[in-house]
Amino acid sequence: PFNGLDKDGVKEMREYLLSYKEQDKTILICSHSAEDISVLCDTVHEMDKGVIEGVR
């Protein structure tokens, strides 16, 4: 969700997504960044070639 954003844009988007998380809303994020995922997500479905390989 942060590709192509400058530093301020990343901060704003992260705050926006965290506000949704605090409201217990569901967000679907596709990312290769483990750092982004660990901060924003409570549940992670790992996929490989379109197949769910694990849930954590």
Q: How far is CA 7 from CA 3, 10, 12, 32, 44, in A?
A: 11, 5, 9, 18, 25
Q: Measured between alpha carbons, how far is 17 from 25 in angstroms, rounded to an integer?
A: 10
Question: pTM to 2 decimals?
Answer: 0.73
Q: Measured between alpha carbons, how far is 20 from 16 in angstroms, rounded to an integer?
A: 7
1, 35 contact by CB (below 8 A)? no
Residue 36: the pLDDT is: 84
Residue 34: the pLDDT is: 87
Residue 4: the pLDDT is: 92
Residue 10: the pLDDT is: 93
Each residue's pLDDT, cut to its tens digit, for the chain (56 residues) gives 889 999 999 999 999 999 999 999 998 999 988 888 888 999 999 999 999 999 98
